[in-house]
Amino acid sequence: MKKLQFKKVMGVTMSLVLAMSLTACGTSSDNKNDTTGASAAAQTEAAAQTADSGAAAGAETVTLRLGHTQSTEHLINTSAENFAALVEERSGGAIHIDVYPSETLGTNTELAEACSEGDVDLYISATGQYTSRYTPFTIVEAFYMFRDLDHMMKFYDSDSHQTLVDGLAEACNVHILADLYYGARQMTTSGKALNTADDLAGLKMRAANEPLPIAAFTQLGASPTPIAYNETYLALQQHTVDGQENPPASISAMKFYEVQDYMNLTYHQFQMLSIFMSDTAMQKLTQEQIDIMYDCAREVAKEHNTKAIEEEQGYIEEIGNYSEIVEPDIESFREKIAPMYDQFKDQWVDGMYEAIQAM
């Protein structure tokens, strides 16, 4: 097992771990406390609407539903359960959250729509699910947008990221409570290792049903095939697709290594998942309860992110017991992806790409 590249790319300092406790409600600890639950205009409006009816809302237990697509064994589910328990404790039982893992309430696409419409109260996934309606957020989904984990976290702790969070709230009626580190996404394949970007030519790759992953695989010469997350194992087993891409923790939890020959350490995307809350759910709560939701989300995110970083190398080693670990020429991937950015720059906030690259 080769560890040097992983440690070089993922090198984590204490400041990085602390940075990962950030949420999308501000760019500093003090600022977050001042603006919790109201950083976006939509959040301010929601808080104002609930303030007058706070006594009524606090008089009885509010039950909220939280959906996500990860398995019960995944750290995301553990953190979702921890979040639910902490909210119930801090609210004195006034807020109860039921957690529904493994696409119980729907696929990522269905959950995103349901949360936006208020049919699901809380939802954990990538912001890519909302990029068809709020295109500026596609920038965080672009392959090789971030050099490494540290670079990504600098962005998530910046005013530029807060601009996207506020825009998303206004466009899609959802509010980001906190961000959870999902991992460095790697590509797995059967029958063919990826030593350079050219090796992707002609391969059918499972892709999330989002604009950026589809465009990225097309740019790399592969044939992107949108398949629901929980249907991916069967698609790989039946050779409907030749490969897929996910963080090591997800590859392990879903046992994709059982039906793939290679895990190629492409590090093409360092990714966060967000805890989304619908406008409708927020309007059920008092301002004090909204503050509790944000505070608990930040606290759980800090613990989650530390653990997720610590565990990632272990998952790579575990997968290496079943699949061959390949360390490809990453620069060849970067060079081949670069022209794709021009297709999306007109959808991004003016100057944001340049700001990210300067961080």
Domain residues for 167?
4-345
Q: What is the mean pLDDT of residues 150-165?
A: 97
Distance between CA 145 and CA 270 in Å, rounded?
9
Q: Identify whether 357 is part of a domain.
A: no
Q: Identify whether 262 is part of a domain.
A: yes
Q: Identify whether 341 is part of a domain.
A: yes
pLDDT in tens, 35-71: 344 444 445 454 445 444 443 444 699 999 999 999 9
Instruction: Give percent above pLDDT 90 in the chain.
Output: 83
Instruction: Give percent above pLDDT 70 in the chain.
Output: 84
Q: Identify whether 350 is part of a domain.
A: no
Q: Is the pLDDT of residue 177 over 90?
A: yes
CB 205 within 8 A of CB 243: yes
For residue 184, list its beta bridge partners.
Answer: 270
CA dihedral 295, 249, 352, 134 (to 10 degrees): -80
Q: Identify whether 62 is part of a domain.
A: yes
pTM for the model stands at 0.84
Close Cβ partners of 351 (under 8 Å, ≥ 6 residues apart)? none
Domain count of the chain? 1
Query: What is the chain's mean pLDDT, rounded?
Result: 89
The enclosing domain of 94 has a CATH number of: 3.40.190.170
Higher-scoring residue by pLDDT: 274, 6: 274
Q: Identify whether 356 is part of a domain.
A: no
Q: Identify whether 352 is part of a domain.
A: no
Q: Is the pLDDT of residue 23 over 70?
A: no
Quote the pLDDT of residue 314: 98
Give the strand pairing for 204-207 and 174-189: unpaired
Residue from 103, 83, 251, 274 nearest 181 by CA: 274
Quote the pLDDT of residue 59: 61
Q: What is the mean pLDDT of residues 316-321?
A: 98
Q: Identify whether 175 is part of a domain.
A: yes
Quote the pLDDT of residue 293: 99
Report residue 226: phi and psi, to 5°.
Answer: -65, 125
